[in-house]
Chains A and B, each alone.
Chain A
Amino acid sequence: MLLTGAEILLECLIKEGVEVVFGYPGGAILPTYDAMTKYPQIRHVLVRHEQGASHMADGFARASGKVGVCIATSGPGATNLVTGLATAMMDSVGIVAITGQVARGSIGTDAFQETDVTGVTLPVTKHNYLVMSAAEIPLVVEEAFHIARSGRPGPVLIDIPKDVQIEKAEFLGYPTGKLRLPGYKVPDSAEDNDIVEAIRLIQEAERPLILAGHGLIMSHATQQLQELAELAGIPVTLTLLGKGAMSEHHPLCIGMMGMHGNAASNHAIQEADLLIALGMRFDDRVTGNIKTYSPNSRKIHVDIDPSEINKNVKVDIGIVGDLRTVLTQMLPLVPRKQHPEWVRRIRDWQEDGSERDILTHYDGTALLGAQVINDLWKFTDGNAVTVTDVGQHQMLEAQYYPHQRPASMLTSGGLGTMGFGFPAAIGAKFAKPDEEVWAIVGDGGFQMTLAELATARQENVDVKIAILNNGFLGMVRQWQEIFYEQRYHATPMVNPDFCKLAEAYGIPSMRVTSRDQIKDSVEFARSIKGPVLIEYVILKEEMVYPMVPAGADLDKMIRRPKLGEKQP
Chain B
Amino acid sequence: MSTNTPKKHIISALVENKPGVLNRLVSLFRRRNFNIDSLTVGRTHKQHVSRMTIVIDGHRLNPRQMVANLYKLVNVIDARLISEDLHVERDMALVKVRTDDTESFNAVTELCERFPARIIDMGMQVAIVEITARTELVEEFIGQLKPIGIIELVRTGVVAMGRGVRTQDTEYEPASMTLQDGELERYSV
CB of B178 within 8 A of CB of A172, answer yes
Chain A residues in the interface with B (C-beta under 8 A)? 118-119, 122-123, 126-127, 130, 133, 135-136, 138-139, 147, 169-170, 172-178, 180-185, 305-307, 309-311
CB of A183 within 8 A of CB of B74, answer yes
CB of A119 within 8 A of CB of B187, answer no
Asked whether B105 is an interface residue with its Cβ less than 8 Å from the other chain, the reply is no
Query: Which chain B residues border A170 with CB–CB below 8 Å?
Result: 178
Query: Which chain A residues border B27 with CB–CB below 8 Å?
Result: 122-123
Quick check: which of B3-11, B75-83, B123-131, B137-145 contacts chain A, the rest being far away? B75-83
Would A147 and B187 be within 8 Å (CB), given that A135-B178, A180-B175, A309-B68 are in contact? no
Q: How far is the CA of A123 from the CA of B178 in the complex (A)?
A: 29
Q: List 9 A-B contacts (CB under 8 A).
A: A123-B31, A136-B178, A172-B179, A172-B183, A173-B179, A182-B16, A183-B73, A185-B71, A310-B65
Query: Which chain A residues border B20 with CB–CB below 8 Å?
Result: 118, 130
CB of A133 within 8 A of CB of B177, answer yes
CB of B31 within 8 A of CB of A307, answer no
Query: Which chain B residues border A135 with CB–CB below 8 Å?
Result: 177-178
CB of B23 within 8 A of CB of A122, answer yes
Query: Which chain A residues border B172 with CB–CB below 8 Å?
Result: 182
By beta carbon, the residue of chain A nearest B76 is A183
Among B15, B68, B69, which residue has the most Cβ atoms of chain A within 10 A?
B68
Asked whether B174 is an interface residue with its Cβ less than 8 Å from the other chain, the reply is yes
By beta carbon, the residue of chain B nearest A314 is B62
Q: How far is the CA of A122 from the CA of B74 in the complex (A)?
A: 12
Would A173 and B73 be within 8 Å (CB), given that A135-B177, A311-B65 are in contact? no
Encoded as 1 (CB less than 8 Å from any A CB) or 0, chain B from 159 to 178 comes to 00000000000101011011
Asked whether B45 is an interface residue with its Cβ less than 8 Å from the other chain, the reply is no
Would A183 and B177 be within 8 Å (CB), given that A173-B184, A176-B187, A309-B68 are in contact? no
Query: Which chain B residues border A182 with CB–CB below 8 Å?
Result: 16, 77, 170, 172
Beyond known contacts A139-B177, A183-B16, A307-B71: 18 more, CB 8 A cutoff: A119-B23, A122-B24, A126-B72, A130-B19, A135-B177, A172-B179, A173-B179, A173-B187, A175-B188, A181-B74, A183-B15, A183-B76, A184-B74, A305-B72, A306-B68, A307-B69, A307-B72, A310-B65
CB of B179 within 8 A of CB of A183, answer no
Chain B residues in the interface with A (C-beta under 8 A)? 15-16, 19-20, 23-24, 27, 31, 62, 64-65, 68-69, 71-78, 170, 172, 174-175, 177-179, 181, 183-184, 186-189
Q: How far is the CA of A230 from the CA of B86 in the complex (A)?
A: 48
CB of B24 within 8 A of CB of A147, answer no
Query: Which chain A residues border B76 with CB–CB below 8 Å?
Result: 183
Query: Which chain B residues border A119 with CB–CB below 8 Å?
Result: 23
Q: How far is the CA of A356 from the CA of B78 in the complex (A)?
A: 54
Q: How far is the CA of A310 from the CA of B68 in the complex (A)?
A: 11
CB of A310 within 8 A of CB of B62, answer yes
- B189 partner, pick from A169, A173, A181, beta carbons under 8 A: A173
CB distance from B67 to the nearest CB of A (A): 9
CB of B184 within 8 A of CB of A172, answer yes
CB distance from B178 to the nearest CB of A (A): 4
Among B172, B177, B183, B186, which residue has the most Cβ atoms of chain A within 10 A?
B177
Query: Which chain A residues border B68 with CB–CB below 8 Å?
Result: 305-307, 309
Q: How far is the CA of A550 from the CA of B172 in the complex (A)?
A: 47
CB distance from B130 to the nearest CB of A (A): 35
CB distance from B139 to the nearest CB of A (A): 33
Query: Which chain A residues border B189 with CB–CB below 8 Å?
Result: 172-174
CB distance from B125 to the nearest CB of A (A): 41
Q: How far is the CA of A173 from the CA of B183 in the complex (A)?
A: 10
Among A118, A172, A311, which residue has the most Cβ atoms of chain B within 10 A?
A172
Query: Which chain A residues border B187 with CB–CB below 8 Å?
Result: 173-177
Query: Which chain A residues border B15 with CB–CB below 8 Å?
Result: 183
User: Which A-B residue pairs are the 8 nearest by beta carbons?
Assistant: A173-B189, A182-B172, A307-B68, A306-B68, A183-B77, A172-B179, A135-B178, A127-B74
Q: How far is the CA of A68 from the CA of B174 in the complex (A)?
A: 29
Query: Which chain B residues border A175 with CB–CB below 8 Å?
Result: 187-188
CB distance from B64 to the nearest CB of A (A): 7
Q: How far is the CA of A182 from the CA of B16 in the complex (A)?
A: 8
CB distance from B158 to the nearest CB of A (A): 23
CB distance from A273 to the nearest CB of B (A): 25
By beta carbon, the residue of chain B nearest A311 is B65
Query: Which chain B residues border A307 with CB–CB below 8 Å?
Result: 65, 68-69, 71-72
Query: Which chain B residues border A306 with CB–CB below 8 Å?
Result: 68, 71
Query: Which chain B residues border A177 with CB–CB below 8 Å?
Result: 186-187
Q: How far is the CA of A180 from the CA of B175 in the complex (A)?
A: 6
CB of B71 within 8 A of CB of A147, answer no
Query: Which chain B residues border A122 with CB–CB below 8 Å?
Result: 23-24, 27
Q: How far is the CA of A17 from the CA of B170 in the complex (A)?
A: 34
By beta carbon, the residue of chain A nearest B15 is A183
By beta carbon, the residue of chain A nearest B21 is A183
Q: How far is the CA of A343 from the CA of B58 in the complex (A)?
A: 43
Q: How far is the CA of A311 from the CA of B32 in the complex (A)?
A: 11
By beta carbon, the residue of chain A nearest B172 is A182
CB distance from A243 to the nearest CB of B (A): 26
Query: Which chain A residues border B179 with CB–CB below 8 Å?
Result: 138, 172-173, 176, 178
CB distance from A556 to the nearest CB of B (A): 27
Query: Which chain A residues border B175 with CB–CB below 8 Å?
Result: 139, 178, 180
Query: Which chain A residues border B64 with CB–CB below 8 Å?
Result: 310
CB of B74 within 8 A of CB of A147, answer yes
CB distance from B16 to the nearest CB of A (A): 7
By beta carbon, the residue of chain B nearest A187 is B71
- B78 partner, pick from A127, A130, A172, A183, beta carbons under 8 A: A183
By beta carbon, the residue of chain A nearest B69 is A307
CB distance from B75 to the nearest CB of A (A): 6
Query: Which chain B residues border A176 with CB–CB below 8 Å?
Result: 179, 187
Query: Which chain B residues border A178 with CB–CB below 8 Å?
Result: 175, 179, 183
Q: How far is the CA of A138 from the CA of B176 in the complex (A)?
A: 12
CB distance from B98 to the nearest CB of A (A): 42
Q: How far is the CA of A309 from the CA of B170 in the complex (A)?
A: 26
Q: How far is the CA of A350 from the CA of B20 in the complex (A)?
A: 53
CB distance from B92 to the nearest CB of A (A): 28
Query: Which chain B residues border A172 with CB–CB below 8 Å?
Result: 178-179, 181, 183-184, 189
